[in-house]
Structure 1
Amino acid sequence: MNINLFLWSLLITLPEMVFSQSADFTIHDVKFESQGVTLAGSILTPKKTLAAVVIVHGSDPVKREMEFAKRLAKEGIAVLTYDKRGVGESGGVYVGPSVGTNNIDTTNLNLLSQDASSAVNAFRKYLKDKKTPIGLVGFSQAGWIIPIAANRNPQIEFMVLFSCPTITTLEQLRFQFYTNEKNNFWENHTESDARKHTKDDPDRYQFVATDPKISLNTLSIPGLWLFGEKDIQIPVKLCMEQLNTLKALGKPFEYTLFSTLGHNTSSGNITAPVDISIQWIKQKAVNIQKSKVSK
């Protein structure tokens, strides 16, 4: 797409009226193009922007994450959050388990990573300060999407991943099928037992696995993972071990484990993981800015 036409299309999709949800930030509705479809979202701009993030969805048919975005914007973090492909005002087709389709095959994950990358490109053009550090924040399924997008787009300078896997897509399905989403799973099973089934169980679906570690091995941007120890969607201790292996290779990756939490580490009534992520983003933004000045 011609870049001048792209800029013009971005400008004309901004509504004439900017409405304020808070004394701390303003909201614009925006549209941008990705892989032949138009995606719709909102940009939240604080009075003073310290960093910027694009929010990447989990596997559900999710519209823009406004409540989560507001929590970030109140802390000086500009946010672009958009309706997932095929959901809300966004074009395209939603692919996922709620409509009986496999949403973690390589084709769909690559398509969603293109959407995240396109959102970053649109957001970068919108930001007044072109040196503002910009990153991705995502949930669950985003653990496969974000590394691919960050590997593809050098404008992505950091990443925050809530309850996101470092294992392959097939391994995650094996674990999830074994736990059978039973909330008391960890009261009745051992870590070694869960790992054995994650490694050896037969696959119910046949597709090429996506391994996020392939992309993570090529990245040098800082990353933060936030895990709940009682998670029954991903085996968090195995994921932490894999991150430790990457850290030993010099990767700037960190993680935090919350012993009382499960897979949902970012909901409105859970504050600690989000608070930690906000402070981490602010600190990394300072470091990134300093690095840009010194070059």
Structure 2
Amino acid sequence: MKINIFFNVYILLLLIALPGTAFSQSADFTIQDVKFESQGITLAGSILKPEKAFAAVVIVHGSDPVKREMEFAKRLAKEGIAVLTYDKRGVGESGGVYVGPSVGTNNIDTANLNLLAQDADAAVKTFRTYLKDKIPMGLLGFSQAGWIIPIAAGKNSQIRFMVLFSCPTITTLEQLRFQFYTNGNNNFWENHTDADAIEHTRNDPDRYQFAATDPKAYLNTLSIPGLWLFGEKDIQIPVKLCIEQLNAFKAQGKPFEYTFFSKLGHNTSFTDDPAPVDIAIQWIKQKAVSDRGN
């Protein structure tokens, strides 16, 4: 909990210190439907563009068959962040095939994650053509996006920051080990310790045999700022193990930050608690100011 408190104090001090003009907010934004090509198929989405945007993000999906995240995008646009959100491959108006959804299928194999990263990369390139100002652009995503965003960020130097809600820093196989261990039990943490979870995640036999994707291999090559937001009661990813790995990156000088919320689970982005999204917005504002100063 101390991490969360110190992070929030840092954000408040930052807002006092930085010029007020950097944080102009406007409820006025336009919405424009767009289509773009990626790996031989057409993806459909919407661009939300505030009158005076200070930063831009492309939203990257979790593992479910998700259409464009319009309500979430509107919340960001009202704060001065331009957004491109699109229907996931094979969902809604987007072409292609949605892979999944069963646990252990090729939904999280390397080929599918790379394909989804190419979709995110194509979205960034498309979005840039619609923005008049060269404002900093980043990727923001949920859950499965923890494997997709680092791959996409390594492909495209236009990506200047990343925000990851409940996203793993462990391999795909390790995540499955933990998910099978918790077995959807919302009371899991009442009877287990972090040490139990970490030991099981590292050593439990795999139920599926496929090449694992390790986000650390891609994060190791990145120097852009990143913010991870975790719920301490998560039963999809072992948060303390993910934080342990982020601390190792921080010790190497990587500009990676994180905060966690003691009462939240895997769903840190779509919750009645506004704090995770509010913190993410303020963090993006701070990074946008820093990026423009370089």
The normalised TM-score by structure 1 is 0.89
Counting only pairs closer than 5 Å after superposition, residues 1-295 of structure 1 correspond to structure 2 as 23-98=27-102, 101-129=105-133, 131-291=134-294
Q: CA deviation at 1:98?
A: 4.9
* CA displacement, residues 29-60 of structure 1 (integer Å, 9 cap, x when unaligned): 00000000000000000011010000000000
Between the aligned partners of 2:148 and 2:164, the Cα distance in structure 1 is 10
Conserved? CA contact 2:60–2:141, under 8 Å: yes
* CA displacement, residues 257-290 of structure 1 (integer Å, 9 cap, x when unaligned): 1010000001152300000000000110010011
* CA displacement, residues 90-113 of structure 1 (integer Å, 9 cap, x when unaligned): 000000225984300000000000
* CA displacement, residues 147-205 of structure 1 (integer Å, 9 cap, x when unaligned): 00001111100000000000000000000000001000000111111112111111111
Conserved? CA contact 2:108–2:172, under 8 Å: yes
Determine the structure 2 residue equivalent to 1:14: none
Between the aligned partners of 2:149 and 2:269, the Cα distance in structure 1 is 17
Determine the structure 2 residue equivalent to 1:9: none
Residue aligned with 2:135, SS? coil
Between the aligned partners of 2:30 and 2:273, the Cα distance in structure 1 is 25
Between the aligned partners of 1:268 and 1:44, the Cα distance in structure 2 is 22
Letter in 2 for 1:234: I
Letter in 2 for 1:124: R
Q: CA deviation at 1:23?
A: 4.9
Residue aligned with 1:241, SS? helix
Distance 1:257 1:59, change over 3 A: same
Conserved? CA contact 2:88–2:94, under 8 Å: yes
Gapped regions of structure 2 (runs ≥ 5): 1-25
Residue aligned with 1:176, SS? helix
Between the aligned partners of 2:173 and 2:105, the Cα distance in structure 1 is 15
Runs of 4+ with >6 A deviation: none
Between the aligned partners of 2:103 and 2:178, the Cα distance in structure 1 is 22
The normalised TM-score by structure 2 is 0.90
Residue aligned with 2:99, SS? coil
Superposed CA RMSD in Å reads: 1.2
Between the aligned partners of 1:42 and 1:289, the Cα distance in structure 2 is 26
Between the aligned partners of 1:99 and 1:29, the Cα distance in structure 2 is 32
Number of residue pairs matched by the alignment: 269
Distance 1:48 1:121, change over 3 A: same
Between the aligned partners of 1:115 and 1:213, the Cα distance in structure 2 is 21
Residue aligned with 2:216, SS? helix
Between the aligned partners of 2:98 and 2:30, the Cα distance in structure 1 is 29
Conserved? CA contact 1:223–1:253, under 8 Å: yes
Taking CA–CA contacts closer than 8 Å with sequence separation of 6 or more, which of the two structures ends up with the larger relative contact order?
Answer: 2
Distance 1:69 1:268, change over 3 A: farther
Letter in 1 for 2:31: I
Residue aligned with 1:204, SS? coil
Conserved? CA contact 2:143–2:166, under 8 Å: yes
Percent identity among equivalent residues?
Answer: 82
